[in-house]
Protein backbone atom coordinates (compact mmCIF):
# COMPACT_ATOMS: atom_id res chain seq x y z
CA UNK A 1 0.00 0.00 0.00
CA UNK A 2 1.26 3.49 -0.78
CA UNK A 3 0.30 6.74 0.89
CA UNK A 4 0.09 9.29 -1.91
CA UNK A 5 -0.24 13.07 -1.95
CA UNK A 6 -3.93 12.52 -2.67
CA UNK A 7 -4.46 10.43 0.46
CA UNK A 8 -4.40 6.74 1.27
CA UNK A 9 -4.82 4.56 -1.80
CA UNK A 10 -4.21 0.97 -2.67
CA UNK A 11 -3.46 1.93 -6.27
CA UNK A 12 -4.11 -1.61 -7.42
CA UNK A 13 -1.37 -3.02 -5.22
CA UNK A 14 -2.22 -5.98 -2.96
CA UNK A 15 -2.69 -5.15 0.72
CA UNK A 16 0.33 -7.27 1.59
CA UNK A 17 2.71 -5.19 -0.54
CA UNK A 18 5.42 -3.15 1.13
CA UNK A 19 4.31 0.33 2.16
CA UNK A 20 6.28 3.25 0.80
CA UNK A 21 7.46 6.07 3.05
CA UNK A 22 5.06 9.00 3.21
CA UNK A 23 5.61 12.73 3.35
CA UNK A 24 4.97 14.38 6.70
CA UNK A 25 3.95 17.61 4.99
CA UNK A 26 7.32 19.23 5.63
CA UNK A 27 9.18 17.40 2.90
CA UNK A 28 10.35 14.57 5.15
CA UNK A 29 9.58 10.93 4.47
CA UNK A 30 8.35 8.41 7.03
CA UNK A 31 9.63 5.97 8.14
CA UNK A 32 13.33 6.52 7.51
CA UNK A 33 14.75 4.99 10.71
CA UNK A 34 13.91 2.20 13.18
CA UNK A 35 10.54 2.30 14.91
CA UNK A 36 10.09 1.39 18.58
CA UNK A 37 7.13 -0.61 19.85
CA UNK A 38 6.79 -0.01 23.60
CA UNK A 39 5.16 -2.88 25.51
CA UNK A 40 4.32 -2.70 29.22
CA UNK A 41 4.24 -6.48 29.60
CA UNK A 42 7.09 -9.02 29.59
CA UNK A 43 8.12 -11.18 26.63
CA UNK A 44 5.71 -14.06 26.13
CA UNK A 45 2.58 -12.14 27.13
CA UNK A 46 -0.31 -11.77 24.72
CA UNK A 47 0.41 -8.07 24.22
CA UNK A 48 4.07 -8.81 23.55
CA UNK A 49 3.18 -11.49 21.00
CA UNK A 50 0.86 -9.10 19.19
CA UNK A 51 3.61 -6.49 19.11
CA UNK A 52 6.16 -8.93 17.67
CA UNK A 53 3.81 -10.27 15.00
CA UNK A 54 2.78 -6.80 13.90
CA UNK A 55 6.33 -5.49 14.17
CA UNK A 56 7.69 -8.20 11.87
CA UNK A 57 5.12 -7.37 9.22
CA UNK A 58 5.62 -3.63 9.54
CA UNK A 59 9.34 -4.15 9.03
CA UNK A 60 8.68 -6.13 5.85
CA UNK A 61 6.23 -3.56 4.52
CA UNK A 62 8.07 -0.36 5.47
CA UNK A 63 11.67 -1.46 4.98
CA UNK A 64 12.61 -0.19 8.45
CA UNK A 65 13.39 -2.29 11.49
CA UNK A 66 10.92 -2.41 14.37
CA UNK A 67 12.42 -2.77 17.84
CA UNK A 68 10.29 -4.28 20.61
CA UNK A 69 11.02 -2.59 23.94
CA UNK A 70 9.52 -4.39 26.96
CA UNK A 71 9.08 -2.12 29.97
CA UNK A 72 7.33 -4.47 32.36
CA UNK A 73 6.70 -4.02 36.06
CA UNK A 74 5.13 -1.14 38.02
CA UNK A 75 1.60 -2.35 37.31
CA UNK A 76 2.13 -2.73 33.55
CA UNK A 77 2.09 0.94 32.61
CA UNK A 78 5.74 1.83 31.94
CA UNK A 79 5.62 1.37 28.18
CA UNK A 80 2.58 3.59 27.83
CA UNK A 81 4.08 6.18 30.18
CA UNK A 82 7.19 6.35 28.00
CA UNK A 83 5.22 6.89 24.79
CA UNK A 84 3.02 9.55 26.40
CA UNK A 85 6.11 11.73 26.86
CA UNK A 86 7.96 10.69 23.69
CA UNK A 87 8.68 12.88 20.69
CA UNK A 88 5.47 12.84 18.59
CA UNK A 89 7.23 11.80 15.41
CA UNK A 90 5.71 8.34 14.87
CA UNK A 91 8.83 6.42 15.88
CA UNK A 92 7.62 5.55 19.39
CA UNK A 93 4.40 3.54 19.38
CA UNK A 94 2.65 2.05 22.40
CA UNK A 95 1.30 -1.45 21.83
CA UNK A 96 -0.93 -1.16 24.85
CA UNK A 97 -3.65 -3.24 26.43
CA UNK A 98 -6.85 -2.18 28.13
CA UNK A 99 -4.80 -2.37 31.33
CA UNK A 100 -2.71 0.69 30.52
CA UNK A 101 -5.24 2.69 28.55
CA UNK A 102 -8.51 2.14 30.43
CA UNK A 103 -8.02 0.28 33.73
CA UNK A 104 -4.96 1.97 35.23
CA UNK A 105 -6.24 5.53 34.63
CA UNK A 106 -9.09 4.63 36.97
CA UNK A 107 -7.21 2.55 39.53
CA UNK A 108 -3.83 4.27 39.81
CA UNK A 109 -2.91 7.60 41.37
CA UNK A 110 -0.09 9.69 39.91
CA UNK A 111 -0.09 7.59 36.77
CA UNK A 112 1.99 10.08 34.82
CA UNK A 113 -0.25 10.22 31.76
CA UNK A 114 -3.82 10.93 30.72
CA UNK A 115 -5.12 8.54 28.08
CA UNK A 116 -7.49 11.07 26.53
CA UNK A 117 -4.97 13.93 26.45
CA UNK A 118 -1.63 12.23 25.86
CA UNK A 119 -2.40 9.59 23.23
CA UNK A 120 -3.71 9.42 19.71
CA UNK A 121 -5.28 5.96 19.49
CA UNK A 122 -4.59 4.59 16.01
CA UNK A 123 -6.26 1.17 15.89
CA UNK A 124 -7.52 -1.72 17.96
CA UNK A 125 -5.22 -4.56 16.98
CA UNK A 126 -6.89 -7.47 18.74
CA UNK A 127 -9.34 -8.52 21.40
CA UNK A 128 -8.26 -10.60 24.40
CA UNK A 129 -11.44 -12.59 25.10
CA UNK A 130 -12.49 -13.06 28.71
CA UNK A 131 -14.86 -15.61 30.22
CA UNK A 132 -16.61 -16.76 33.38
CA UNK A 133 -15.87 -20.33 34.42
CA UNK A 134 -16.77 -22.69 37.25
CA UNK A 135 -15.53 -26.04 38.44
CA UNK A 136 -17.05 -29.18 36.96
CA UNK A 137 -18.86 -29.81 40.25
CA UNK A 138 -20.55 -26.41 40.38
CA UNK A 139 -24.33 -26.73 40.29
CA UNK A 140 -24.93 -23.84 37.92
CA UNK A 141 -24.70 -24.01 34.14
CA UNK A 142 -25.18 -20.35 33.20
CA UNK A 143 -24.40 -16.86 34.43
CA UNK A 144 -28.08 -16.54 35.28
CA UNK A 145 -27.62 -19.53 37.59
CA UNK A 146 -24.66 -17.81 39.25
CA UNK A 147 -26.73 -14.70 39.90
CA UNK A 148 -29.64 -16.76 41.23
CA UNK A 149 -27.33 -18.54 43.67
CA UNK A 150 -25.83 -15.23 44.74
CA UNK A 151 -29.30 -13.92 45.53
CA UNK A 152 -29.96 -16.94 47.73
CA UNK A 153 -26.76 -16.67 49.75
CA UNK A 154 -25.42 -13.11 49.75
CA UNK A 155 -22.55 -12.46 49.97
CA UNK A 156 -21.29 -16.02 50.28
CA UNK A 157 -20.96 -16.90 46.62
CA UNK A 158 -17.25 -16.56 45.85
CA UNK A 159 -16.35 -14.88 42.57
CA UNK A 160 -12.61 -14.93 41.88
CA UNK A 161 -10.56 -12.67 39.62
CA UNK A 162 -6.95 -12.49 38.52
CA UNK A 163 -6.32 -9.52 40.81
CA UNK A 164 -7.81 -6.59 42.69
CA UNK A 165 -8.19 -3.53 40.50
CA UNK A 166 -7.86 -5.51 37.29
CA UNK A 167 -10.23 -5.68 34.33
CA UNK A 168 -11.59 -8.93 35.79
CA UNK A 169 -12.36 -7.32 39.16
CA UNK A 170 -14.04 -4.33 37.51
CA UNK A 171 -15.96 -6.57 35.12
CA UNK A 172 -17.33 -8.58 38.04
CA UNK A 173 -18.38 -5.36 39.79
CA UNK A 174 -20.27 -4.18 36.72
CA UNK A 175 -22.03 -7.53 36.36
CA UNK A 176 -23.04 -7.99 39.97
CA UNK A 177 -24.14 -4.35 40.27
CA UNK A 178 -26.37 -4.66 37.22
CA UNK A 179 -27.81 -7.88 38.66
CA UNK A 180 -28.34 -6.36 42.09
CA UNK A 181 -26.37 -9.00 44.00
CA UNK A 182 -23.45 -9.11 46.42
CA UNK A 183 -20.68 -11.67 46.03
CA UNK A 184 -17.45 -12.40 47.85
CA UNK A 185 -14.71 -11.16 45.54
CA UNK A 186 -11.58 -13.30 45.85
CA UNK A 187 -8.57 -11.73 44.10
CA UNK A 188 -5.63 -13.91 43.08
CA UNK A 189 -2.25 -13.01 41.69
CA UNK A 190 -3.09 -14.11 38.17
CA UNK A 191 -5.62 -16.56 36.76
CA UNK A 192 -3.42 -19.67 37.05
CA UNK A 193 -3.15 -19.10 40.80
CA UNK A 194 -6.93 -19.37 41.08
CA UNK A 195 -7.38 -22.45 38.91
CA UNK A 196 -6.76 -25.16 41.57
CA UNK A 197 -9.26 -23.58 43.98
CA UNK A 198 -11.93 -23.27 41.30
CA UNK A 199 -11.37 -26.82 40.05
CA UNK A 200 -11.65 -28.16 43.62
CA UNK A 201 -14.69 -26.02 44.46
CA UNK A 202 -13.07 -23.94 47.18
CA UNK A 203 -13.96 -20.93 45.05
CA UNK A 204 -17.13 -21.18 43.01
CA UNK A 205 -16.73 -18.93 39.98
CA UNK A 206 -13.79 -17.26 38.22
CA UNK A 207 -13.35 -14.49 35.67
CA UNK A 208 -10.29 -15.22 33.54
CA UNK A 209 -9.07 -15.05 29.96
CA UNK A 210 -10.38 -17.60 27.49
CA UNK A 211 -6.83 -18.55 26.56
CA UNK A 212 -5.86 -19.10 30.19
CA UNK A 213 -8.79 -21.38 30.99
CA UNK A 214 -9.07 -23.29 27.72
CA UNK A 215 -6.81 -26.25 28.68
CA UNK A 216 -8.81 -26.92 31.85
CA UNK A 217 -12.10 -26.45 30.01
CA UNK A 218 -11.00 -28.88 27.32
CA UNK A 219 -10.02 -31.43 29.96
CA UNK A 220 -13.40 -31.13 31.68
CA UNK A 221 -12.03 -29.68 34.92
CA UNK A 222 -13.61 -26.28 34.34
CA UNK A 223 -16.91 -25.37 32.67
CA UNK A 224 -17.15 -22.16 30.66
CA UNK A 225 -20.42 -20.45 31.50
CA UNK A 226 -20.13 -17.41 29.23
CA UNK A 227 -17.80 -15.11 27.38
CA UNK A 228 -17.92 -11.50 28.49
CA UNK A 229 -17.54 -9.60 25.21
CA UNK A 230 -20.19 -8.38 22.80
CA UNK A 231 -20.24 -11.47 20.58
CA UNK A 232 -19.72 -15.22 20.76
CA UNK A 233 -16.34 -16.55 19.70
CA UNK A 234 -16.21 -18.42 16.42
CA UNK A 235 -14.13 -21.27 17.85
CA UNK A 236 -16.49 -21.86 20.80
CA UNK A 237 -19.86 -20.92 19.28
CA UNK A 238 -21.87 -22.86 21.85
CA UNK A 239 -20.71 -20.63 24.72
CA UNK A 240 -23.10 -17.68 25.08
CA UNK A 241 -22.21 -14.11 25.93
CA UNK A 242 -23.11 -12.60 29.30
CA UNK A 243 -25.49 -10.30 27.41
CA UNK A 244 -27.29 -13.32 25.98
CA UNK A 245 -27.52 -14.78 29.48
CA UNK A 246 -29.94 -12.10 30.60
CA UNK A 247 -27.74 -9.00 30.94
CA UNK A 248 -28.50 -7.00 27.81
CA UNK A 249 -25.74 -4.67 26.66
CA UNK A 250 -23.07 -6.20 28.87
CA UNK A 251 -19.69 -6.05 27.14
CA UNK A 252 -16.35 -6.16 28.95
CA UNK A 253 -13.34 -7.60 27.18
CA UNK A 254 -9.60 -7.13 27.04
CA UNK A 255 -7.95 -5.65 23.96
CA UNK A 256 -4.66 -4.48 22.52
CA UNK A 257 -4.38 -1.11 20.79
CA UNK A 258 -1.70 0.92 19.06
CA UNK A 259 -1.22 4.50 20.19
CA UNK A 260 1.16 7.35 19.43
CA UNK A 261 1.75 10.60 21.33
CA UNK A 262 -0.75 13.38 20.80
CA UNK A 263 0.65 15.82 18.27
CA UNK A 264 1.97 13.18 15.90
CA UNK A 265 1.62 14.63 12.37
CA UNK A 266 -1.61 13.52 10.75
CA UNK A 267 0.00 11.97 7.63
CA UNK A 268 2.19 9.78 9.86
CA UNK A 269 -0.66 8.89 12.21
CA UNK A 270 -2.90 7.99 9.26
CA UNK A 271 -0.14 5.94 7.66
CA UNK A 272 0.29 3.94 10.88
CA UNK A 273 -3.44 3.39 11.25
CA UNK A 274 -3.73 2.08 7.71
CA UNK A 275 -0.69 -0.17 7.97
CA UNK A 276 -1.31 -1.63 11.41
CA UNK A 277 -5.02 -2.23 10.84
CA UNK A 278 -4.26 -4.08 7.60
CA UNK A 279 -1.45 -6.13 9.12
CA UNK A 280 -3.65 -7.76 11.79
CA UNK A 281 -6.13 -8.77 9.09
CA UNK A 282 -3.54 -10.72 7.10
CA UNK A 283 -4.42 -14.44 7.24
CA UNK A 284 -1.11 -15.57 8.73
CA UNK A 285 -1.13 -12.85 11.41
CA UNK A 286 -4.77 -13.48 12.21
CA UNK A 287 -4.07 -17.20 12.53
CA UNK A 288 -1.08 -16.75 14.83
CA UNK A 289 -3.01 -14.32 17.01
CA UNK A 290 -5.83 -16.86 17.26
CA UNK A 291 -3.39 -19.57 18.31
CA UNK A 292 -2.37 -17.31 21.21
CA UNK A 293 -5.99 -16.65 22.18
CA UNK A 294 -6.36 -13.23 20.58
CA UNK A 295 -8.97 -12.20 18.01
CA UNK A 296 -7.83 -9.86 15.23
CA UNK A 297 -9.70 -6.55 14.90
CA UNK A 298 -7.90 -3.87 12.86
CA UNK A 299 -10.26 -0.94 13.48
CA UNK A 300 -10.22 2.65 12.31
CA UNK A 301 -8.76 5.32 14.58
CA UNK A 302 -12.26 6.69 15.20
CA UNK A 303 -13.57 3.29 16.28
CA UNK A 304 -10.54 2.64 18.45
CA UNK A 305 -10.79 6.01 20.20
CA UNK A 306 -14.49 5.50 20.86
CA UNK A 307 -13.83 2.07 22.37
CA UNK A 308 -11.06 3.36 24.63
CA UNK A 309 -13.16 6.31 25.81
CA UNK A 310 -16.15 4.05 26.48
CA UNK A 311 -13.98 1.76 28.60
CA UNK A 312 -12.53 4.68 30.54
CA UNK A 313 -16.07 5.69 31.46
CA UNK A 314 -17.13 2.10 32.11
CA UNK A 315 -14.27 1.41 34.48
CA UNK A 316 -14.69 4.75 36.26
CA UNK A 317 -18.17 3.54 37.18
CA UNK A 318 -16.85 0.10 38.13
CA UNK A 319 -14.28 1.55 40.52
CA UNK A 320 -16.99 3.63 42.17
CA UNK A 321 -19.43 0.78 42.66
CA UNK A 322 -16.77 -1.76 43.67
CA UNK A 323 -15.37 0.41 46.43
CA UNK A 324 -11.83 -0.13 45.11
CA UNK A 325 -9.45 2.50 46.39
CA UNK A 326 -6.98 3.76 43.74
CA UNK A 327 -3.39 3.48 44.87
2-128+254-322 and 130-245: identical CATH topology: yes
Q: Which CATH superfamily is domain 130-245 in?
A: Periplasmic binding protein-like II (3.40.190.10)
Residue 43 has pLDDT above 90, yes or no: yes
pLDDT tens digit sequence for 214-254: 999 999 999 999 999 999 999 999 999 999 999 999 999 99
**Is domain 2-128+254-322 annotated with CATH 3.40.190.150?**
yes
Considering the chain, what percentage of its residues have pLDDT values greater than 90?
88
Confidence at residue 3, expressed as pLDDT on a 0 to 100 scale:
37
Residue 14 has pLDDT above 50, yes or no: no
Confidence at residue 28, expressed as pLDDT on a 0 to 100 scale:
73
Report the pLDDT averaged over residues 102-121. 96
Confidence at residue 21, expressed as pLDDT on a 0 to 100 scale:
64
Under the banding of pLDDT at 50, 70 and 90, the label for residue 153 is confident
What ranges do the domains of the chain cover? 2-128+254-322, 130-245
Under the banding of pLDDT at 50, 70 and 90, the label for residue 23 is low
What distance in Å separates the CA atoms of residue 36 and residue 57, rounded to the nearest whole number? Answer: 14
Residues in the chain: 327
pLDDT tens digit sequence for 49-58: 999 999 999 9
Confidence at residue 52, expressed as pLDDT on a 0 to 100 scale:
98
Report the pLDDT averaged over residues 292-297. 96
Residue 19 has pLDDT above 50, yes or no: yes
CA diameter of the chain = 69
HEC secondary structure over the chain: CEEECCEEECCCCCCCCCCCCEECCCCCEECCCCEEEEECCCCCCHHHHHHHHHHHHHHHHHCCCEEEEECCCCCCCHHHHHHHCCCCCCCEEEEEEHHHHHHHHHHCCCCCCCHHHHEEEEEEEEEECEEEEEECCCCCCCHHHHHHHHHHCCCCCEEEECCCCCHHHHHHHHHHHHHCCCCEEEECCCHHHHHHHHHCCCCCEEEEEHHHHHHHHHCCCEEEEEECCCCCCCCCCCCCECHHHCCCCCCCCEEEEEEEECCCCHHHHHHHHHHHHHHCCCHHHHHHHHHCCCEECCCCHHHHHHHHHHHHHHHHHHHHHHCCCCC
Report the pLDDT averaged over residues 151-171. 94
Confidence at residue 165, expressed as pLDDT on a 0 to 100 scale:
96
Residue 9 has pLDDT above 90, yes or no: no
Confidence at residue 45, expressed as pLDDT on a 0 to 100 scale:
92
Confidence at residue 73, expressed as pLDDT on a 0 to 100 scale:
86
What distance in Å separates the CA atoms of residue 36 and residue 189, rounded to the nearest whole number? Answer: 30
Under the banding of pLDDT at 50, 70 and 90, the label for residue 98 is very high
Q: What are phi and psi of 226, to 5 degrees?
A: -170, 155
What distance in Å separates the CA atoms of residue 191 and residue 187, rounded to the nearest whole number? Answer: 9
pLDDT tens digit sequence for 274-291: 999 999 999 999 999 999
Task: Look over the chain and give the mean of its residue pLDDT values, rounded to a whole number.
Answer: 92
The strand pair at 184-187 and 158-161 is best described as parallel
What distance in Å separates the CA atoms of residue 78 and residue 71, rounded to the nearest whole number? Answer: 6
Amino acid sequence: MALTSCGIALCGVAATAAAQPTSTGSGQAFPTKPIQFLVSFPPGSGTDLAARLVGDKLRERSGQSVVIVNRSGAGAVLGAAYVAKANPDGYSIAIAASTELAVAPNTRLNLGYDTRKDFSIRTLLAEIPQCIVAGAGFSGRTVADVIALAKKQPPKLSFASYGAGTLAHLGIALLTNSAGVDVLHVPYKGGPSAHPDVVNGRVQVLWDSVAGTRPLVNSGKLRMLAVTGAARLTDIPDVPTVAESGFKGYDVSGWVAAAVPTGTPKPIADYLTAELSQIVKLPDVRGRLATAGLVSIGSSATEATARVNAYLDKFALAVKISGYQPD
